[in-house]
Chain A
Amino acid sequence: MKLTCRLRNETYQFRSIADVLAKASEEKSGDVMAGIGAASSLERMASKYVLSELQLKDIYENPVIPYEKDEVSRIIYEDVSAFIYKEIADWTVGELREYILSHSTNGNDLKRLSRGLTSEMISAVAKLMSSLDLVLASQKMKHQAHCNTTIGEPGRLAFRCQPNHPVDNPDGILASIKEGLSYGSGDAVIGINPNNESVASVAKILTMSHELIEKWKIPTQNCVLAHITTQMKALQQGAPVALMFQSLAGTQTANEDFGVSQKILDEGYELMRHKGTSAGLNFFYFETGQGSEVSLDAHSGVDMQTLEARTYGYAKHWKPFMVNNVSGFIGPETLFDGKQMIRCDLEDLFMGKLHNLPMGIAPTYTNHMQCDQNDQEIAGMLTTVAGANFYMGVPGGDDVMLSYQDTSYHDDASLREMLGLRPLAEFEKWLEKMGIMEDGRLTENAGDLSIFD
């Protein structure tokens, strides 16, 4: 489909819907590197204008990556409700934006609408939205899921305790878990990224974290973020897994690079149903982020934001407990600076929620980006206002294994306190029992890991 736009005495031409989507994105270095971003500010606006006038059926009928060629496209289309889609097929993307923002549209309306949208439509509407638009729309949507704890209840904000160690030293990991718990972090999951990916080593960390949870009767779930096939092997050998992790991307090629497919994810889910330790039935923890496809040279000419939306369309098929967005983890070739990182976090939170996903955000930066702690904290505050379900919790914000910065145990406590948000219900009771929290505020004991001696 060829498209043309006349704007301020210039004529702009677009090869396809995918071309319009790419050029309508806010500026990001990954789209520039891929050679698909807008060449000028006015070209960006021309594509946004074209996008606002396109009907949802134009997007539906012109998939950015053909159905026949790509598993992600297939899952997205197969999961769309034909009935709901037909009701809205004639809407323009501009009208969709106004419907989402309207006072008369509430969270339940959006929950239903979501089932009639493809991921590309969700990406498209986000491209017409400003920061405030994205925050206000995100606030309307809050999605719950259950593993051992219930995540996503109104007024509650959860955290993953992320106690990584550069060589998986068990005592080192335990110490960081205790530190995190003493700040009230760990109700989303106690999740360890392993340095050693062997099945035996992963099983050892699973057992250790499971035993800690049992010993202190902590209402939460454990997870070791190895490759899904490694976790499955550990689980088959009897290791205690409450939540199963995997990184996902928005094209089949990128997922092949990650070593993951529909078949593997189906098997993982079934295995968790039979051998996992948790109640479920939300058994998955997925990580995503803008830029993974372009850095693997697997973007198929589609922009980073649309690919991220497609990742959500794929992820929701397995009803995850958590979807964590880690845009900012890769580097300046995909997101140049703090401004681009903050924009991604807002887009991704909105797009994830409009996919009915229990979304969390990890505002992150690497040391070769033009970004610092101030940018990260701004992203954290904005997405908390926008109603993210959870964040990470890293000791002092410094992940000593993965070499990047993420939200700290201190940030976790701060974000809760700032907006009067509470930990997940069961976990809050446990914190009170342990003398760490009282009436939603940390006590004098908080921050003292020796209370777990």
Chain B
Amino acid sequence: MDIESIVKEVMKEMEGPTEEKTINRTAEREFVYHFEKMVTVEEPKNKDSIAHAQQGTPARIGIGRSGTRMKTKNYLDFRVDHAAAQDAVFKDVADSILDKMDLPILHSKASSMQEYLMNLDVGRKLNEESVKWLKENAPKGKQVQIIVSDGLSSTGVEDTIPDLLPSLVQGLEAKGLSMGKPVFIRKSRVWIQDEVASLVDCDVVVSLIGERPGLATSKSISAYLIYCPNENSVEADRTVFSNIHEGGVPPIEAGAYLSEVIEGMLHHKASGVKYAQLKNN
């Protein structure tokens, strides 16, 4: 390298930072949050085996530490997931998604999200207009009635129901079972299915309801089924399938399975513990 180019090189280096500083002051900066499973243990004995272990579970393992505390990015990942889960509870299911699935929108007695969360009873009963709507518009005396409930996760309804519902409907149709019009009930809990069943006079009522969101997923749906609920029904009469979402029991598979179960309940005229016993005999 000749002297000239060395001088140029040095000049460039001297200019460099100055130039960069100016850019940082004036230009906009964009930060893109990104999550990727990574082994962040410092100098592990076997990094590959930790990476392999991470593939076997959604649990937060192989993340290492700073002293006894989490590393910054892992800590923020946790807080981001918590924030998403909190928002999932307080968000309503978008009307457009319900329209697309052709689901009429009914309402519980809960007038606000706060009331819904703090008073279990209001989410277990329909409001007057919804009762009237069901009386006037719902097909009566069918074998099966499907309810979609937001429960504690609107994200679950938005992400999982579009696959789960058609799969369940298709399964029931293939078995030649008669079905009322599926409905969506805003701010509703499981026990509201008893009131709906009595209003539409069906045999089996199934609620597809958004589960309490976790950090790993806020998309999970549970199905609660009961055969001819009445005032003597107890919790043990309900059959429950939980963990329906892409990372758990896949929605399409779950829909097909639920239609099998419903057929079995109609055959045995029972649900819950009674159904489980009859089925195994």
Whether the Cβ atoms of B152 and A33 lie closer than 8 Å is: no
Given the interface pairs A33-B118, A175-B57, the reply to whether A449 lies near B78 with Cβ below 8 Å is: no
* A453 in complex: contacting residue of B46, B65, B79, B213, CB < 8 Å: B46
Whether the Cβ atoms of A448 and B45 lie closer than 8 Å is: yes
CA of A332 to CA of B123 in the docked complex: distance in angstroms?
14
Q: Is A403 an interface residue when CB atoms closer than 8 A count as contact?
A: yes
Given the interface pairs A165-B59, A166-B248, A414-B68, the reply to whether A366 lies near B216 with Cβ below 8 Å is: no
Residues in A neighbouring B82, C-beta threshold 8 A = 367, 372-373, 405
CA of A397 to CA of B69 in the docked complex: distance in angstroms?
12
Residues in B neighbouring A178, C-beta threshold 8 A = 53
Within 8 A of B (CB), among A416-453: 417, 442, 444-451, 453
Given the interface pairs A166-B243, A331-B117, A368-B152, the reply to whether A172 lies near B59 with Cβ below 8 Å is: yes
Given the interface pairs A163-B59, A175-B61, the reply to whether A417 lies near B68 with Cβ below 8 Å is: yes
Whether the Cβ atoms of A414 and B69 lie closer than 8 Å is: yes
Whether the Cβ atoms of B214 and A403 lie closer than 8 Å is: yes
CA of A403 to CA of B145 in the docked complex: distance in angstroms?
29
Q: How many residues of A contact B (CB 8 A)?
A: 54
Given the interface pairs A179-B61, A453-B45, the reply to whether A398 lies near B120 with Cβ below 8 Å is: no
Q: Is A60 an interface residue when CB atoms closer than 8 A count as contact?
A: no
Q: Is B137 an interface residue when CB atoms closer than 8 A count as contact?
A: no
Whether the Cβ atoms of A373 and B78 lie closer than 8 Å is: yes
* Minimum distance in angstroms from B138 CB to a CB of chain A: 29
* Minimum distance in angstroms from B237 CB to a CB of chain A: 13
Within 8 A of B (CB), among A229-282: 257
Whether the Cβ atoms of A368 and B70 lie closer than 8 Å is: no
Interface residue SS majority, chain B: loop
Residues in A neighbouring B211, C-beta threshold 8 A = 403
Residues in B neighbouring A336, C-beta threshold 8 A = 118
Residues in A neighbouring B170, C-beta threshold 8 A = none
Residues in A neighbouring B49, C-beta threshold 8 A = 450, 453
Q: Is A176 an interface residue when CB atoms closer than 8 A count as contact?
A: yes
* Minimum distance in angstroms from B87 CB to a CB of chain A: 9
* A396 in complex: contacting residue of B44, B74, B247, CB < 8 Å: B74
Given the interface pairs A175-B56, A403-B213, the reply to whether A367 lies near B89 with Cβ below 8 Å is: yes
Residues in B neighbouring A417, C-beta threshold 8 A = 68
Whether the Cβ atoms of B60 and A395 lie closer than 8 Å is: yes
Whether the Cβ atoms of A333 and B78 lie closer than 8 Å is: no
* Minimum distance in angstroms from B119 CB to a CB of chain A: 6
Residues in B neighbouring A166, C-beta threshold 8 A = 58, 216, 243, 247-248
Whether the Cβ atoms of B214 and A450 lie closer than 8 Å is: no
Q: Is A167 an interface residue when CB atoms closer than 8 A count as contact?
A: yes
Q: Is B101 an interface residue when CB atoms closer than 8 A count as contact?
A: no
Given the interface pairs A257-B235, A368-B117, A403-B213, the reply to whether A447 lies near B56 with Cβ below 8 Å is: no
Q: Is A169 an interface residue when CB atoms closer than 8 A count as contact?
A: yes
Q: Is B143 an interface residue when CB atoms closer than 8 A count as contact?
A: no
Residues in A neighbouring B57, C-beta threshold 8 A = 165, 169, 171-173, 175-176, 400
CA of A183 to CA of B67 in the docked complex: distance in angstroms?
11
Residues in B neighbouring A32, C-beta threshold 8 A = 118
Whether the Cβ atoms of A176 and B68 lie closer than 8 Å is: no
Whether the Cβ atoms of A450 and B64 lie closer than 8 Å is: no
In the complex, how many residue pairs between chain A and chain B have their CB atoms under 8 Å apart?
148
Q: Is A300 an interface residue when CB atoms closer than 8 A count as contact?
A: no
Residues in B neighbouring A373, C-beta threshold 8 A = 78-79, 82
Residues in B neighbouring A445, C-beta threshold 8 A = 45
Given the interface pairs A448-B41, A453-B45, the reply to whether A175 lies near B53 with Cβ below 8 Å is: yes
Given the interface pairs A33-B118, A417-B68, A447-B64, the reply to whether A400 lies near B216 with Cβ below 8 Å is: yes
* Minimum distance in angstroms from B235 CB to a CB of chain A: 7
* Minimum distance in angstroms from B30 CB to a CB of chain A: 27
Whether the Cβ atoms of B70 and A172 lie closer than 8 Å is: no
Residues in B neighbouring A366, C-beta threshold 8 A = 212
CA of A29 to CA of B115 in the docked complex: distance in angstroms?
12
* Minimum distance in angstroms from B68 CB to a CB of chain A: 4
Whether the Cβ atoms of B59 and A398 lie closer than 8 Å is: yes
Q: Is A12 an interface residue when CB atoms closer than 8 A count as contact?
A: no
B61-94 near A? 1/0 per residue, CB < 8 Å: 1111100111000100011011001101100000
Q: Is B261 an interface residue when CB atoms closer than 8 A count as contact?
A: no
Q: Is A404 an interface residue when CB atoms closer than 8 A count as contact?
A: yes
CA of A445 to CA of B57 in the docked complex: distance in angstroms?
22
Q: Quick one: closest A residue to B85, CB to CB?
A: A367
Q: Is B215 an interface residue when CB atoms closer than 8 A count as contact?
A: yes
Q: Is B279 an interface residue when CB atoms closer than 8 A count as contact?
A: no
* A367 in complex: contacting residue of B59, B78, B214, CB < 8 Å: B214
Whether the Cβ atoms of B120 and A333 lie closer than 8 Å is: yes
Q: Is B256 an interface residue when CB atoms closer than 8 A count as contact?
A: no
Residues in B neighbouring A13, C-beta threshold 8 A = none
B113-132 near A? 1/0 per residue, CB < 8 Å: 00001111000000000000
Q: Quick one: closest A residue to B214, CB to CB?
A: A403
CA of A448 to CA of B44 in the docked complex: distance in angstroms?
6
CA of A398 to CA of B46 in the docked complex: distance in angstroms?
24
A395-417 near B? 1/0 per residue, CB < 8 Å: 11111101111001010011001
* Minimum distance in angstroms from B218 CB to a CB of chain A: 8
Residues in A neighbouring B62, C-beta threshold 8 A = 179, 449
Q: Is B169 an interface residue when CB atoms closer than 8 A count as contact?
A: no
* Minimum distance in angstroms from B62 CB to a CB of chain A: 7
Q: List 25 interface pairs A-B (beta carbons < 8 Å), by A numbering.
A: A29-B118, A165-B57, A165-B59, A173-B57, A175-B57, A175-B59, A176-B61, A179-B59, A331-B212, A333-B119, A366-B212, A367-B82, A367-B85, A368-B117, A368-B152, A368-B212, A373-B79, A397-B78, A398-B81, A398-B214, A400-B58, A413-B65, A448-B45, A449-B62, A450-B46
3 A-B pairs with the lowest CB-CB distances in the bound complex, closest first: A396-B60, A403-B214, A172-B57
Contacts from B to A (Cβ < 8 Å):
41, 43-47, 49-50, 53-54, 56-65, 68-70, 74, 78-79, 81-82, 85-86, 88-89, 117-120, 152, 211-216, 218, 220, 235, 243, 247-248
Known: A400-B58, A400-B214, A446-B65. 12 other contacts (CB 8 A): A33-B118, A176-B61, A179-B59, A331-B117, A331-B212, A336-B118, A366-B212, A398-B81, A400-B215, A410-B69, A445-B45, A449-B62
Contacts from A to B (Cβ < 8 Å):
29, 32-33, 163-167, 169, 171-173, 175-176, 178-179, 183, 195, 257, 295, 331-333, 336, 366-368, 372-373, 395-400, 402-405, 408, 410, 413-414, 417, 442, 444-451, 453
